[in-house]
């Protein structure tokens, strides 16, 4: 699912426990950015478009043809890959101008913007982290654009501002997030992010004086940063031009002299992470192959004895995630357990034959594990719904948290030596709320909940199952207002993800609520390729089996029509990143089935994706056209290569921006040009492009509201939602 928490998301939570790197690798927001700058070249392009009576204007084709494995592959818009060329910039500005003019025709823009403002301009918090009686978190007040980093002395003490990013950039495009807090709460690390880029710059601060200290690490992608208990050393993992590396930084030293302690020989197609144990003695190092979807290795280093880095696991083609506490490593893995299990590894006897399985595989998928309070807090996903269970350190069951509704546990924060944990929960009509749980008292309380004008009792969440093309039963959530009639004419927005072992569970989105308020159905389908039903479900939708994902999605659309929820003239689809690939493939394979498509930050040229930005991370999930066998199935579904001249394509809005340093925006540029030239319908093919937006969020709230308004305006123009639509009574 592409409409992730970045719609209203907090700044990065401090000390995230056991990051799911598949989620990092490919998820992205539904929202997009519109920002138009008219240069003389753009003005010239617009003048030409007006003379030709076309907006957007015709795009120049060139004669580029690649020969891959004896197959000729035309690429007439290769020139649009050059993001900085004057011709590309003029083309982008001309496209944006046309998009802006079109979206202004939506008569309900003001009503859409008003409802989005009500839903999004609210006080919002991130998960908190407790250290030495202090609580650190990010908060965005309802009248602010960005999240501010705060500290409290005591759970419910007054908020004290530590870092406010609003003064860092006039347009509020620079954001901050917590990275780490020292054990004594006397030192914090925070990141500064420009626009939506993945790269950040870590800074350090004394929270007592509220002043930065001189140490500042280089701008890069970071995958773990830990401060030792004496506050004298920092261990961190980041990307370098040579590949990922783990570094040791002595506070006060020049970062250019930081020592590499792990990573030599690993190339840029790997992700390397690092994390200190609570007592500061052990450093856990993990190597994730690509986006973490097929294989990982685990190592550890005893810092107390300065022993060499030693492997826990580096020879199996399975996924292993480990965390060290109290002299033991707790390992979550799909080794011999497609639904995952948990092992306890004694670091004094780490050989595999000494491992002890403490939480066995069950019919529910183990999706995350957080060591806290001397226990293991484990998130399960069963039938695409989150459950949170507690286990003792030996794996003995110790209870389950009663969650408020069918929905999603988005995060858990806690520490091994503290009984306090914080839980973030949300659902389609329940905004992100933070709960405080005391493991000793077995008490769950709401810590903060945004005051959003939503009455959850007015909405319905249904889960339905339907057969895909090969007969596999696929689940789908339907979210709508009570009283909806199954009359075959409800505007419906269908979304999904289907990749990288990521589970798509019910989550809150202001766009989905606004859609439902206007009489529409929001449909979230749990496609193969995701993690909802374990590794077999994931593998059934990756590599040469990727077509199953598209078949599942097309099957969902057909089911909605056959069961009188909607029809093809009222059906819109949306997806981003891997979900952008999803809707791009669905559109090129079944252009007759959809009225409108929103395709955000997408992968669309699957023969060249591995050559750009973080594309090498995703080869284990998709394959690569460099391989002759993988080339065959990639060519068969790659959206860019499967556009057919004269086909009547649905209305399409591509969303991307220069700030995307994860999925190169060249995909959306080339595909927009290709569809504009090829489509035989009179439906608009538009590009919404921003110079700062990207995968990693950080955009100001007012921009988010504007962007969501643009997308809902586009969809409303296509499927005909009415202002303040009142659903008919159920027949």
Other beta carbons within 10 angstroms of residue 292's beta carbon come to 26
Q: Which DSSP category does 497 fall into?
A: -
Distance CA 296, CA 285 (A): 10
Helices and strands per DSSP (H, E), number in the chain: 12, 39
Per-residue CA distances from 693 to 193, 218, 297, 518, 672 (Å): 12, 22, 33, 28, 18
Overall size of the chain counted in residues: 731
- One of 577, 600, 638, 713 is an active-site residue; which one? 577
List of residues 6+ apart from 276 with CB closer than 8 A: 226, 227, 228, 235, 282, 283, 284
- DSSP secondary structure string for all residues of 194-250: ETT-S-EEEEEEETTTTEEEEEEPPSB-EEEEEE-TTSSEEEEEEEETTEEEEEEEE
Distance CA 596, CA 635 (A): 24
Assign 449 to helix, strand or coil. Answer: coil
* Greatest extent of the chain over all pairs of C-alpha atoms, in Å: 77
Q: Which two tokens stand for residue 282?
A: 């052990």
577 annotated active-site:
yes
Distance CA 476, CA 525 (A): 4
Distance CA 576, CA 602 (A): 6
Distance of CA 562 to the CA centre of its chain: 32
- One of 172, 436, 509, 695 is an active-site residue; which one? 695
Per-residue CA distances from 438 to 92, 99, 705 (Å): 53, 51, 36
Task: Dump strand ranges (E) for 468-511.
Answer: 473-481, 492-495
Residue 589 contacts residue 550 (beta carbons within 8 Å): yes
Assign 502 to helix, strand or coil. Answer: coil
Distance CA 272, CA 283 (A): 13
679 annotated active-site:
no
Q: Which two tokens stand for residue 213?
A: 């200290």
Distance CA 65, CA 68 (A): 10
| Residues with catalytic roles | 577, 695
């Amino acid at each position: 699912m592409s409409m992730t928490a970045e719609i209203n998301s907090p700044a990065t939570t401090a000390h995230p426990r056991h990051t799911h790197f598949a989620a990092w690798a490919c998820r992205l927001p539904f929202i997009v950015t519109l920002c138009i700058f008219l240069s003389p070249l753009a003005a010239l392009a617009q003048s030409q478009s007006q003379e030709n009576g076309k907006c957007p204007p015709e795009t120049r084709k060139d004669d580029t043809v690649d020969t891959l494995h004896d197959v000729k592959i035309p690429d007439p818009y290769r020139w649009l890959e050059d993001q900085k060329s004057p011709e590309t910039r003029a083309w982008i500005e001309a496209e944006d101008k046309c998009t802006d003019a079109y979206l202004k025709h939506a008569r309900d823009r003001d009503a859409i913007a008003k409802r989005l403002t009500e839903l999004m301009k609210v006080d919002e918090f991130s998960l908190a982290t407790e250290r030495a009686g202090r609580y650190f978190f990010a908060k965005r007040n309802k009248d602010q654009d960005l999240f501010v980093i705060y500290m409290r002395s005591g759970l419910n003490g007054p908020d004290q501002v530590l870092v406010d990013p609003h003064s860092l950039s006039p347009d509020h495009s620079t954001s901050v997030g917590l990275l780490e807090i020292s054990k004594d709460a006397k030192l914090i690390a925070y990141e500064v992010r420009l626009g939506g880029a993945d790269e950040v710059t870590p800074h350090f601060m004394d929270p007592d004086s509220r002043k930065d200290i001189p140490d500042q690490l280089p701008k890069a992608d970071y995958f773990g940063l830990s401060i030792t208990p004496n506050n004298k050393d920092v261990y961190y993992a980041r990307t370098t031009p040579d590949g990922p590396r783990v570094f040791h930084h002595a506070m006060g030293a020049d970062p250019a002299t930081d020592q590499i302690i792990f990573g030599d020989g690993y190339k840029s197609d790997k992700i390397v992470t690092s994390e200190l144990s609570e007592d500061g003695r052990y450093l856990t190092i993990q190597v994730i192959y690509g986006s973490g979807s097929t294989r990982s290795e685990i190592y550890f280093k005893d810092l107390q004895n300065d022993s060499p880095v030693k492997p826990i696991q580096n020879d199996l083609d399975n996924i292993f995630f480990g965390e060290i506490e109290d002299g033991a490593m707790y390992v979550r893995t799909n080794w011999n357990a497609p639904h995952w299990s948990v092992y306890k590894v004694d670091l004094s006897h780490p050989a595999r034959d000494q491992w002890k399985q403490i939480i066995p595989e069950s019919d529910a998928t183990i999706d995350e594990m957080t060591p806290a309070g001397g226990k293991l807090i484990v998130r399960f996903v069963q039938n695409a719904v989150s459950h949170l269970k507690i286990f003792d350190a030996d794996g003995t069951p110790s209870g389950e948290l009663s969650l408020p509704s069918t929905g999603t546990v988005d995060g858990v924060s806690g520490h091994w030596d503290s009984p306090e944990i914080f839980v973030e929960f949300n659902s389609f009509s329940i905004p992100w709320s933070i709960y405080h749980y005391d493991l000793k008292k077995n008490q769950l309380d709401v810590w903060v909940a945004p005051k959003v004008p939503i009455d959850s009792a007015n909405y319905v969440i249904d889960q339905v199952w339907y057969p895909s093309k090969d007969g596999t039963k696929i689940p789908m959530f339907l979210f709508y207002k009570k009283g909806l009639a199954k009359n075959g004419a409800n505007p419906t927005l269908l979304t999904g993800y289907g990749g990288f072992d990521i589970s798509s569970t019910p989550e809150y989105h202001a766009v989905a609520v606004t859609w439902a308020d206007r009489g529409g159905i929001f449909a979230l389908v749990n496609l193969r390729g995701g993690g909802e039903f374990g590794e077999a479900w994931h593998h059934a939708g990756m590599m040469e089996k990727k077509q199953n994902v598209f078949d599942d999605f097309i099957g969902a659309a057909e089911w909605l029509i056959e069961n009188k929820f909607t029809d093809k003239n009222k059906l819109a689809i949306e997806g981003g990143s891997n979900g952008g690939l999803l809707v791009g493939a669905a559109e090129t394979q079944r252009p007759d089935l959809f009225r409108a498509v929103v395709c955000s930050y997408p992968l669309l040229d699957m023969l060249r994706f591995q050559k750009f930005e973080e594309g090498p991370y995703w080869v284990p999930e998709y394959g690569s056209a460099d391989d002759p066998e993988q080339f065959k199935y990639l060519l068969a579904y790659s959206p860019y290569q499967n556009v057919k001249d004269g086909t009547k394509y649905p209305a399409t809005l591509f969303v991307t921006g220069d700030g995307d340093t994860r999925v190169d925006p060249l995909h959306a540029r080339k595909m927009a040009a290709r569809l504009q030239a090829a489509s035989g319908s009179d439906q608009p093919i538009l590009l919404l492009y921003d110079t700062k937006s990207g995968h990693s969020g950080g955009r100001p709230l007012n921009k988010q509201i504007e962007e969501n308004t643009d997308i809902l305006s586009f969809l409303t123009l296509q499927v005909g939602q009415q202002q303040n639509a009142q659903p008919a009574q159920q027949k």
